[in-house]
Structure 1
Amino acid sequence: MRLKFKLILSLFALLLLANGTSLNAQTYGKNGMVVSDHYLASEVGVDILKKGGNAIDATVATAFALAVTHPEAGNIGGGGFIVLMKSDGEVTTFDFREKAPLAAGPEMFLDENGKIRDNSNHKGLLSVGVPGTVAGLFQAHQKYGKLPWKDLVQPAVDLAKNGFTMSWGLYNAAVRVSKMDASYDIMQNFFRGTNGEVVAPGELWKQPALGKTLEAIRDQGRDGFYKGAVAAEIERYMKANGGIITQEDLVKYEAVERAPLKTTFKDYEIFSMPPPSSGGVALIEMMNLMEAADIEKVEFNSTAYVHLVAEAMRRAFADRAEYLGDPDFNLDMPIDRLISKDFAKARFENLDLTKASKSDSSKFGQEYGGDHTTHFSVIDKDGNAISLTYTLENSYGAGMGSDKLGFIFNNEMGDFNPVPGITTSTGQIGTNPNLVAPEKRMLSSMTPTIVAKDGKPYLVIGSPGGRTIINTVFQTVLNVLAYDMRIDRAIEAMKIHHQWLPDQILYERNLLSPDTRKALEEMEHTLRPTTNIGVLMGITYDATLGVYLGASDSASEDGAARGY
């Protein structure tokens, strides 16, 4: 009877494919899929696929659309990473992480007592890194795109100039940020209409200044942002308000194509982002340790499962703090060792299965023998797949920007280690690899990831969430590969987070049983509840149906998967 029901369900799913209709929180698509934090951006991306564009084309269009529809994280004022798997199985990445300005230095945020001055690494224009998004999207398109650049930016221009309907979710955020103090200058009127009031749900929200900036990018490509009128206004605004980014910083900025990091798990190949992202290194470390632990034999969500996962996280984050930074400034990072199977086996052999380890920064290398970002996933009919994560750091970044340009600047300089040599139990890190230096890229936790099976994309996944990104993606990959979960269920399943310091397990409230919590505390783990960890956007491939399955995290009010 169950088999008969599943056959009927599969036939029903096939009937829904043409329109990319959702079924049981998943969306089905035969010829392509886009899953993003806003349904309009997903629709823009799918429309590009329908017009003959490939995954890179859809990615460019989706990213610029999110800069309009999802301003808390979608951006042209920030930066991020792309992992691309081409239909022939070749994998590459694009690093468009922000850089420190030429006038930056390792003690730029400190007062005369060596303390961080007024939260200056997260607030104000000193917290702004040189944006990389436009350069990264342009570089990826120039190498692998198919449709004309102008056609890919135009949908975002239309959304900005003509407006789109304000949702309740966005309105809730708009009311909150419009009340921020006057130092967050652009936020005062960002969501207000011509009547001076915050645009209400159901009304059109238009962004004419952003539309004009996007037109410059549409017509001039990369130079529309990093040279000319936009660059001149960025420099003018910075000088007038205490910032240090200049036109020289902008014209010198370059995105970088880098080789991916890779490991295997069962019959799958996992590809993720190399430094300056720490995500790929940490993800691979943890997946290798899970393989050594034979995690499939451990009951999901059990005490043993949570303990193993938390201890893997602790170790990966300790290595992150000690070793990782911008590879162009740190030539001796032991990446090959950290992602090796032998290293994971040694780590597992030294892991106590009955007791929590302790996090201690005085024992680097000996101990174990944020924020807002957005992610979207894309796949086209030929099997080209994109996993892209980009960010402004905090929600709405620095909350500052020129009204003439219409976009918000990041506050990514806060991702550098702010006080040289000082690492604290609360999570402040002071190790050398990630100290501020001119033109250096700050360490990131973004973890765009593609999993392949038989040389073809099987899982495309990523998430926002500051340092929790790494662990959110890790657990979702584990859910799909080790526990054979459907993509929507893997996304919604219980998540935990441990980042070495502070020494605690963050867990999603009500998703761990009282007995499990008690058992973990008896193992000397410290537990702290939270409402939600991560906002995942994922795609898997169903070989039986021959279709892509997309799912958007329920934590995203406007997010959606769109397929055709």
Structure 2
Amino acid sequence: MKMRHFLLQAATLALVAAQPANAAAPAVAPSGNSAPLLDYAAIHHPVVARHGMVVSQEAIASEVGRGILERGGNAVDAAVAVGFALAVTLPKAGNLAGGGFMMIYDAKSGKTITIDYKELAPYAASRTMFLTPDGKVDLAAAREKRSASGVPGTVAAFELALKTYGTMTMGQVAAPAIELARKGIVVTPDYADSIHFAHDKLARNPAAAKAFFKPDGSEYQPGEVIRQPDLAWSIEQIVKGGARAFYTGEIARRMVADQQAQGGYLTMRDMADYKAVIREPLRATYRGYELVLMPPPSSGGVHIIQMLKALEGFDLKGMGHNSAAAMHLTIEAMRQAYADRSKYLGDPDFSKIPIDWLDGEAYARQTRAAISGDKARLSRDVAPGLAPMAESPNTTHYSIWDAQGNVVSNTYSLNYSFGNGVVVPGTGILMNNGMDDFSARPGVPNGYGLVGGERNAIEPHKRSLSSMTPAMIFKDGKPYVVTGSPGGSRIITAVMQVLMNVMDYDMNIADATDAARFHEQWLPDEVYLEPNGFSPDTIAILKRMGYRLEESSMTIGSTQSIMKSGGVLYGAADPRRPGALAAGY
């Protein structure tokens, strides 16, 4: 299966770079997003490189990034090239009309910055826009119709990153994606499965059906070639006119025309006024390491620090990795953090987030004190803390490290798989359904089961709360690990467990990636376990403690990570989803 998948890409990969001897074939899991039956006892060897490394969820995109690095581009150049390529090769998550978060470490200045390019609510949005007359949430309007789309941020962020920290032109970094879209890519089993899974959604939209199905309406099969000339045209417009071509040019006009004709909210003013925002990252220390994480409107950075601050008071390593004792403490820290997420997190431009309190030592002590030594708490008994007065599984992540020491961690998304399933006619561009990340009705769970509060209510030109969490560990003042993950509400816990595996349990990046994961998010009151990763004794002990355990039907995240040790880069592509590749040189 692995070799077949690799050979299917041979013709396409030749467009961007020759296959070097140290690149591993993509790790392949069962089709779809179901949890693979991983052999957690097996050793997953990382790809080793001395100059540069690209790790992404899709093999061709990783090769595109490596090709940019080999031609003298830096990590930011490669990150933008990978982002454009994923719009072609991983359309369920890669995108031009979605949003996300990018973290950049600039080796020359020693500075780390983050770029917030989350989608914005349109000016015409209102807190009741997705409510029916009887006060219920209209799920179709929030997830499937034109009204589900926020103002896209991806193109603005790519241009900002490239102009601020890159060394190449937009034409140079976008050229591989244009060629892939115009000449076509070989359909992999994963690509075919993703189209099959979303068949009904895509078939409802004529432009999406034209883009992703054959002229007779049938699905492309593995080994066949799919071409996307409209998407190639769109990327060419961006090369010629920069982000203005997307936000004020013909692409924007086509996007707005489709929205206005079909009940959407986006206007030319919405598009023209979009700005990606540079924000200072969150920083914290843990076990002698420095963590650098994404600030709000990402909820991940705040709550990873919150959870680790509480857990730092326990000897997790002495308890043993994924032992019942260590899992009990971690689950309870997760439970409290997700409860607090429901009340306190939102767009920092619209409300003050009590970060210092949530991530402070006093609240960590309070959290530790509330955890019983031998008994699970019930989520109904756990409320958000009282502050002092004063976020699809089909997201995608990639990590890049260049020879100069620049590092990029980028997570971006259309929200659900293929967004709302709408392709803008004549552009090949899939639209996001990021508006579902808002609390359409505070207190009612969104599509990921997350409960949001007033701070995440819909308001015009507000950014919705997100779980996307690009992350870095620093050691002795230098980047040591870069990681991130897709996974909807499970992103935060997936990323945290990789970080803990390195910092608490001294694992290398491959072992830290492969280790079985678990997830708890306050509501529903269940702990999800990846299959075949936990001993029967551990499961029995947790059940006696009162935990409701569920074997997850989906993998928990798909982390794409790099570790630098002894002057060598180690890349670990998560085997939980098919097609991922660590590509180094």
TM-score with structure 2 length normalisation? 0.89
Find the aligned partners of 1:446 and 1:421 in 2 and give their Cα distance: 21
- Would you say the 8 A contact 1:217–1:225 is kept in 2? yes
Over 3 Å counting, the alpha-carbon distance change for 1:463 and 1:182 in structure 2 is same
Find the aligned partners of 1:280 and 1:362 in 2 and give their Cα distance: 21
1:539 aligned onto 2:562: yes
- Would you say the 8 A contact 2:51–2:403 is kept in 1? yes
More deviation, 232-241/484-493:
484-493
1:329 to 345, 350, 353: 350
Aligned AA (1:411): N
Over 3 Å counting, the alpha-carbon distance change for 1:382 and 1:308 in structure 2 is same
User: Counterpart of 1:377?
Assistant: 399
Matches within 5 A, 1:128-139: 128-139=149-160
Q: How much does 1:398 deviate?
A: 0.5
Find the aligned partners of 2:81 and 2:61 in 1 and give their Cα distance: 8
Q: 1:16-63 CA deviation, whole Å, 9 max, x = no partner? A: x97443495311111110000111111111111111111111100011
User: Counterpart of 1:469?
Assistant: 491
User: Counterpart of 1:39?
Assistant: 59
- Would you say the 8 A contact 2:92–2:419 is kept in 1? yes
Over 3 Å counting, the alpha-carbon distance change for 1:487 and 1:404 in structure 2 is same
Find the aligned partners of 1:171 and 1:286 in 2 and give their Cα distance: 39
User: Counterpart of 2:384?
Assistant: 364
Q: How much does 1:294 deviate?
A: 2.5
User: Counterpart of 1:174?
Assistant: 195
User: Counterpart of 2:238?
Assistant: 217
Aligned AA (1:235): V
User: Counterpart of 2:411?
Assistant: 389
Over 3 Å counting, the alpha-carbon distance change for 1:112 and 1:260 in structure 2 is same
Q: How much does 1:183 deviate?
A: 3.4
1:506 to 517, 528, 540: 528
User: Counterpart of 2:118?
Assistant: 97
User: Counterpart of 2:457?
Assistant: 435
Where 2:532 maps in the other structure, the secondary structure is coil
Find the aligned partners of 1:163 and 1:146 in 2 and give their Cα distance: 28
1:68 aligned onto 2:101: no
Find the aligned partners of 1:116 and 1:135 in 2 and give their Cα distance: 31
Q: How much does 1:345 deviate?
A: 2.9
Q: 1:392-423 CA deviation, whole Å, 9 max, x = no partner? A: 11111111122311021111111111114557
Find the aligned partners of 2:289 and 2:338 in 1 and give their Cα distance: 24
Aligned AA (2:491): I
Q: How much does 1:516 deviate?
A: 1.8
- Would you say the 8 A contact 2:75–2:400 is kept in 1? yes
Find the aligned partners of 1:124 and 1:242 in 2 and give their Cα distance: 8
User: Counterpart of 1:9?
Assistant: none
Matches within 5 A, 1:279-294: 279-294=300-315
Number of equivalent positions: 542
Q: How much does 1:322 deviate?
A: 1.1
Where 2:412 maps in the other structure, the secondary structure is strand
Find the aligned partners of 1:53 and 1:157 in 2 and give their Cα distance: 18
User: Counterpart of 2:424?
Assistant: 402
Q: How much does 1:180 deviate?
A: 3.7
Where 2:212 maps in the other structure, the secondary structure is coil
Q: How much does 1:196 deviate?
A: 4.9
1:418 aligned onto 2:435: no
Over 3 Å counting, the alpha-carbon distance change for 1:175 and 1:166 in structure 2 is same
- Would you say the 8 A contact 2:320–2:326 is kept in 1? yes
Where 2:510 maps in the other structure, the secondary structure is helix
Find the aligned partners of 2:574 and 2:535 in 1 and give their Cα distance: 22
Q: How much does 1:528 deviate?
A: 1.1
1:252 to 258, 269, 273: 273
Aligned AA (2:264): G
User: Counterpart of 1:318?
Assistant: 339
Where 2:563 maps in the other structure, the secondary structure is strand
Find the aligned partners of 1:361 and 1:399 in 2 and give their Cα distance: 39
Over 3 Å counting, the alpha-carbon distance change for 1:275 and 1:30 in structure 2 is same
Over 3 Å counting, the alpha-carbon distance change for 1:186 and 1:504 in structure 2 is farther
Aligned AA (1:439): H
Q: How much does 1:186 deviate?
A: 3.9
Over 3 Å counting, the alpha-carbon distance change for 1:318 and 1:421 in structure 2 is closer
Find the aligned partners of 1:324 and 1:118 in 2 and give their Cα distance: 22
Where 1:292 maps in the other structure, the secondary structure is coil
TM-score with structure 1 length normalisation? 0.92
Find the aligned partners of 1:80 and 1:152 in 2 and give their Cα distance: 19
Q: 1:79-100 CA deviation, whole Å, 9 max, x = no partner? A: 0001111214311100000010
Find the aligned partners of 2:519 and 2:450 in 1 and give their Cα distance: 17
Aligned AA (1:465): G
2:70 to 27, 47, 50: 50
Q: How much does 1:524 deviate?
A: 1.4
Q: How much does 1:377 deviate?
A: 0.1
Q: How much does 1:430 deviate?
A: 4.6
Q: 1:512-544 CA deviation, whole Å, 9 max, x = no partner? A: 22222222122111111114211110000121x
Find the aligned partners of 2:381 and 2:452 in 1 and give their Cα distance: 10
- Would you say the 8 A contact 1:184–1:398 is kept in 2? no
Over 3 Å counting, the alpha-carbon distance change for 1:94 and 1:141 in structure 2 is same
Find the aligned partners of 1:164 and 1:140 in 2 and give their Cα distance: 27
1:21 aligned onto 2:43: no
Aligned AA (2:343): E
User: Counterpart of 2:359?
Assistant: 339
Find the aligned partners of 1:266 and 1:466 in 2 and give their Cα distance: 28
Aligned AA (1:21): A
More deviation, 271-280/551-560:
551-560
Where 2:221 maps in the other structure, the secondary structure is coil
Q: How much does 1:136 deviate?
A: 0.8
User: Counterpart of 2:324?
Assistant: 303
Aligned AA (1:60): V
Aligned AA (1:539): I
1:152 aligned onto 2:152: no
User: Counterpart of 2:31?
Assistant: none
Where 2:583 maps in the other structure, the secondary structure is strand
- Would you say the 8 A contact 1:83–1:449 is kept in 2? yes
4+ long deviations beyond 6 Å: none
Q: 1:182-202 CA deviation, whole Å, 9 max, x = no partner? A: 534444333224565433222
Q: 1:243-275 CA deviation, whole Å, 9 max, x = no partner? A: 111111100000000000011112311101000
Find the aligned partners of 1:295 and 1:345 in 2 and give their Cα distance: 16
Where 1:528 maps in the other structure, the secondary structure is strand
Over 3 Å counting, the alpha-carbon distance change for 1:549 and 1:410 in structure 2 is same
Find the aligned partners of 1:480 and 1:521 in 2 and give their Cα distance: 27
1:455 to 453, 468, 477: 477
Over 3 Å counting, the alpha-carbon distance change for 1:320 and 1:163 in structure 2 is same
Aligned AA (1:157): I
Matches within 5 A, 1:181-196: 182-193=203-214, 196=217
Over 3 Å counting, the alpha-carbon distance change for 1:529 and 1:184 in structure 2 is farther
1:239 to 235, 260, 269: 260
Gaps (5+ residues) in structure 1?
Answer: 1-16
Aligned AA (1:518): A
Over 3 Å counting, the alpha-carbon distance change for 1:431 and 1:254 in structure 2 is same
Over 3 Å counting, the alpha-carbon distance change for 1:166 and 1:408 in structure 2 is same
Over 3 Å counting, the alpha-carbon distance change for 1:180 and 1:322 in structure 2 is closer
Where 2:312 maps in the other structure, the secondary structure is helix
> What percentage of residue pairs aligned between the two structures are identical?
40
Where 2:259 maps in the other structure, the secondary structure is helix
CA RMSD of aligned residues (A): 2.0
Find the aligned partners of 2:290 and 2:450 in 1 and give their Cα distance: 34
More deviation, 465-474/296-305:
296-305
